[in-house]
Structures are given as C-alpha cells and as structure tokens.
Amino acid sequence: MFKKIREDLNAFKERDPAARSKAEIFLLYNGFHAVLFYRLSHWLYRHKRYFLARWVSQYAKFRTGVEIHPAAKIGKGLCIDHGTGIVIGETTVIGDYCMLYQGVTLGGTGKDAGKRHPTLEDYVMVGSGAKILGPFTIGSHSKIAANAVVLEAIPPHSTAVGVPAKVIRQNGKRVESDPLDQVHIPDPVAQELARLSKKIKELEKKLEEK
C-alpha cells in the first residue's frame, strides 16, 4: 500500500504543472487525499473489515467530494485532478498511471450482475464530466473527451468523443467510417424529423409566395 502511495504522489508531481512540491500535494491536494483514503479503505476491505472500509470511503466522499467504492481495484500512479464529483463503482478496475478529471463517472447501467463497471487499462485519460457506463474495457493509452458518454469498449491508443462516444482517432490516425458497420448506423428517428422539418419549411415558403 505504501509503495502505491509513493507512486501516486510522484504521478501528481509529474502531471500537475501547478504543483510546487510533494509536501504541498500531500497536505493540500484534494485528489491525492481521495486516493489516499481509497488505499486505506481498500486495505480494510481486503482484510474483511467491510464496515470500517465503507466508513472510510463515506468519510472520504464527505471530505473530498470523490466517491470510490473500497472494493474497486486501482493500480499505482492514479492522478485525480480537482476530483469533485467523481464516482468509481464497486467492480471498477483501473490500471497504472491513469488520470481522471472532475465529474467523471465509472459506473454501471443498472442491469448487469457481477462485473458491472468498466475496466481502464494503463495510461488512460478521462476528461471532465465523462461517463463510462458498463462492464467493458477502455484500452491502454486511450483518451476520453470531456462530457463523452461511453457505452462500449474502446480500443487501445484511441480518442473517443461524443454522446454516445465514438472513436475518432486510433494510433494517431483519424478513423474513417466503416461502410459495413452495423452498430453505428444513422438514427432513423432523427432522419425522419429532419425530413419533416424540411417539408414544413417548403410548405411555409409556398404559403408566403401566395
């Protein structure tokens, strides 16, 4: 546990240009405190001190504004920037050296049993307000844009944006649409609304001409 805490501290120092010293991070950084409380609650949880583990996590939520279930599995070097509003569910798995910004949710869809929260592989960055919902994997070195809503797996070295999120870059190259893609097809309801809107404008124009 203490080795991971040192890694967390180093990660904050390396990634936050505003950090002047490790002492400042240790004493004043809300995101670091959230990770610190998690390390303690997770240790208690693994040693079957479930009530104490939940008490620590709930105190941490009150103290930092970050809610991390003590059963979640988080690797070393996690950096939480600001952190307020972050929620990390029970079966979430986070790899090494990931970065989360404020308002991120790593949650479930409410219909899954067992593993129902996402897995983030190493070096994943999740932007402010992004929601990742479901028991799938976000590949290593991927970036999730601010306010994106991710509902399916994201390959490694990808950038995903939008609601629902779609991969726009992979391995440094822009992703072209796949003509054989049977999942990301046009929304027929939206298409019909657009057609009706166009028709209404045409009728209005005819009425104005009369």
What pLDDT is stored for residue 170 in this prediction?
Answer: 85
Lowest model confidence (mean pLDDT) among 21-25, 186-190, 197-201? 186-190
Q: What is the pLDDT of residues 60-82, one digit of tens each?
A: 999 999 999 999 999 988 999 88
Q: Which residues contact 125 (CB under 8 A, 6 or more apart)?
A: 98, 99, 142, 143, 144
Q: Is 106 exposed, middle or buried (0-12, 13-18, 19+ CB in 10 A)?
A: buried
Over residues 151-169, the mean pLDDT reads: 90
CATH class of 2-209: mainly beta
What pLDDT is stored for residue 30 in this prediction?
Answer: 86
Q: Is 137 left (phi over 0), alpha (psi -120 to 50) or beta?
A: beta
CB 22 within 8 A of CB 13: yes
What pLDDT is stored for residue 180 in this prediction?
Answer: 45
What pLDDT is stored for residue 189 in this prediction?
Answer: 67
User: What residue spans define the domains of the chain?
Assistant: 2-209
Q: What is the average pLDDT score of the chain?
A: 86
